């Protein structure tokens, strides 16, 4: 029997959900081109597509909406958000953006020259897309075990392999590496954390070679929770202290507030370098808006400032990560193959092991995500060959990890919902041999997973 923590909140407002019949679900997923991104929200029973912007806000955040100062420039809420980010992360400068990829666009355009290399601890879809659009080449320097879903014995599967990083510096020269991106946590590896020791070492090596360290802060509070609970020396530190120390080993960060900011929209770029800040403020007005709103409304910025502080509360973050672990353990009890250990924001099904009869060119994770919706009304997301896209020569990247992500929105579902998810997927696992592969009907040129369409291969 898996134990779980009671929610550290009570429910004040509800949003009804409904389960369509099996026949209706079969029609809906067919109409959506077997792509769960193209389903309508109203046709979904339990929505584990993403934890991005799907969070439930607290009453303090909702109250904050009423304080929105919707001035075009110099909004009161911007000053609040700016001060909060500076205080939590310790940076000197903050530039607001509408969401994480807005910040990724700015940093990529400013720092990447065509022909240069950007190492990182595994790719993320939008991050790499902006690096490539700016003419850079992403190089994966994460430790090897991160690509192995069965290595549940490793606490910090998001760590950089320093040897790989050093080898790249030797091979292409530090002058051709404008910065390294460090995801804390690593989404595509299964929400896996990076240890403080590794962050410290990466920073020291980067400083030695004059390479900037840019964190992807999107799920940094989840990372801090793992450091507190797994890394010797951090048990007695607060989440806020851990976050502060983590970011002291970086020169700047991009953040999607839609995750650990516990809001529905927002993001920022932050840094210590004044020249970089000046360039970012010059560019933000082209793509996002004034450097005092960057695509967010005043009320968005207020909710974001409040959410960032709430996220640092130990009871909140413990429940959040332990709820995800609860879902993972239920699935492991049923012997469903998942990425181990369970990460911070989601449980990832190992689609290669779930559907061994489908080779990767038959898109097992895409097929499994579609089958889960049809079987139970639960919406999940493919994180495998479709998400990975194609390289510059048009060849498919073939990632070792072929996964389906069950992403848990913050403060939205109860463990009864997660029981339904786990029981349904365990039952589907028993019928897995009936799941057919898919083929492309429409493949978009960039970030193809969002809007691509498929049809089943003949049975």
Binding site for ligand F0G (CB under 6 A): 50, 52, 99-101, 124, 126-127, 183, 187, 216, 218, 256, 258, 267
Least distance (Å) from ligand F0G to the CB of residue 130? 10
Q: Is 97 a catalytic residue?
A: no
Alpha-helix residue ranges (DSSP H) falling in 288-409: 298-311, 314-333, 351-354, 364-376, 385-388
The tokens for 404 are 């389906």
Evaluate the omega torsion of the peptide bond into residue 341 and state whether it is cis, within 30 degrees of 0: yes
Which is catalytic among the residues 352, 383, 411, 448?
Answer: 383
- Report the distance separating Cα 408 and Cα 308, nearest Å: 18
- Report the distance separating Cα 15 and Cα 284, nearest Å: 36
Least distance (Å) from ligand F0G to the CB of residue 349? 16
Least distance (Å) from ligand F0G to the CB of residue 381? 7
Least distance (Å) from ligand F0G to the CB of residue 121? 11
Residue closer to ligand F0G by CB (options 33, 257) is: 257
403 contacts 350 by C-beta, under 8 angstroms: yes
Least distance (Å) from ligand F0G to the CB of residue 263? 10
Give me the residue whose beta carbon is nearest to ligand F0G.
100
- Report the distance separating Cα 364 and Cα 205, nearest Å: 39
Least distance (Å) from ligand F0G to the CB of residue 183? 5
Q: Is 383 a catalytic residue?
A: yes
Which is catalytic among the residues 9, 60, 72, 397?
Answer: 72
Which is catalytic among the residues 50, 116, 125, 254?
Answer: 125
CA dihedral sign, ordered 367, 372, 375, 378: negative
Q: Is 12 a catalytic residue?
A: no
Residue closer to ligand F0G by CB (options 259, 437) is: 259
Contacts of 130 (CB under 8 A, 6+ apart): 101, 104, 105, 107, 108, 109
Which is catalytic among the residues 34, 45, 124, 179?
Answer: 124
Residue closer to ligand F0G by CB (options 338, 358) is: 338
338 contacts 332 by C-beta, under 8 angstroms: yes
Residue closer to ligand F0G by CB (options 263, 355) is: 263
Q: Is 449 a catalytic residue?
A: yes
Q: Is 450 a catalytic residue?
A: no
Which is catalytic among the residues 47, 159, 216, 375?
Answer: 216
- Report the distance separating Cα 151 and Cα 144, nearest Å: 10
Residue closer to ligand F0G by CB (options 191, 437) is: 191
Alpha-helix residue ranges (DSSP H) falling in 139-180: 162-172
- Report the distance separating Cα 225 and Cα 317, nearest Å: 7
What are the beta bridge partners of residue 44?
Answer: none
Q: Is 125 a catalytic residue?
A: yes
Beta-sheet pairing, 252-256 with 212-216: parallel
Residue closer to ligand F0G by CB (options 4, 304) is: 304
250 contacts 182 by C-beta, under 8 angstroms: yes
Contacts of 73 (CB under 8 A, 6+ apart): 290, 292, 293
Catalytic residues: 72, 124-125, 216, 259, 383, 449
């Amino acid at each position: 029997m898996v134990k779980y923590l009671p929610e550290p909140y009570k429910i004040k407002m509800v949003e009804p959900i409904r389960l369509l019949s099996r026949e209706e679900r079969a029609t809906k997923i067919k109409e959506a081109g077997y792509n769960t991104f193209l389903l309508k929200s109203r046709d979904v029973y339990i929505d584990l597509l993403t934890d991005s912007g799907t969070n439930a806000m607290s009453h303090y955040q909702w109250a904050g909406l009423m304080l929105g100062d919707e001035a075009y420039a110099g909004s009161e809420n911007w000053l609040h958000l700016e001060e909060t980010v500076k205080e939590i992360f310790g940076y000197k400068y903050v530039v607001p953006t509408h969401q994480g990829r807005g910040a990724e666009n700015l940093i990529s355009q400013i720092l990447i020259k065509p022909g240069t290399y950007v190492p990182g601890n595994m790719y993320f879809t939008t991050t790499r897309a902006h690096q490539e659009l700016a003419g850079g080449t992403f190089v994966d320097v994460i430790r090897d075990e991160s690509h192995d879903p069965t290595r549940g014995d490793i606490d910090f599967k998001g760590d950089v392999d320093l040897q790989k990083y050093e080898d790249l510096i030797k091979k292409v020269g530090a002058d051709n590496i404008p910065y390294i991106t460090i995801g804390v946590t690593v989404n595509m590896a299964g929400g896996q954390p990076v240890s403080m020791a590794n962050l410290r070492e990466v920073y020291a090596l980067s400083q030695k070679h004059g390479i900037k360290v840019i964190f992807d802060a999107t799920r940094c509070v989840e990372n801090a929770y793992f450091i507190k609970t797994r890394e010797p020396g951090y048990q007695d530190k607060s989440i806020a202290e851990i976050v502060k120390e983590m970011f002291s080993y970086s020169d700047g960060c991009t953040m999607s507030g839609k995750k650990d900011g516990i809001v529905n929209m927002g993001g920022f770029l932050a840094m210590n370098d004044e020249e970089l800040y000046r360039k970012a403020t010059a560019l933000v007005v082209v793509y996002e808006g004034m450097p005092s709103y960057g695509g967010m409304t005043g009320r968005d910025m207020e909710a974001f400032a409040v959410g960032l502080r709430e996220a640092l509360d130990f009871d909140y973050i413990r429940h959040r990560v332990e709820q995800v672990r609860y879902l993972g353990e239920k699935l492991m009890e049923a012997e469903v193959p998942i990425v181990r250990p369970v990460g911070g924001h989601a449980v990832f099904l190992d689609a290669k092991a779930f559907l061994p009869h489908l080779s990767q060119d038959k898109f097992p994770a895409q097929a499994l995500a579609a089958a889960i919706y049809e079987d139970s009304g639960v919406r999940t997301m493919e994180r495998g060959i479709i998400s990975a896209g194609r390289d510059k020569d048009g060849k498919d990247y073939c990632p070792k990890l072929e996964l389906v992500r069950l992403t848990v929105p913050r403060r939205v579902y109860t463990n009864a919902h997660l029981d339904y998810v786990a029981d349904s997927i365990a039952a589907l696992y028993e019928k897995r041999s009936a799941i057919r592969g898919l083929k492309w009907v429409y493949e978009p040129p960039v970030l193809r997973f969002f809007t691509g369409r498929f049809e089943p291969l003949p049975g």
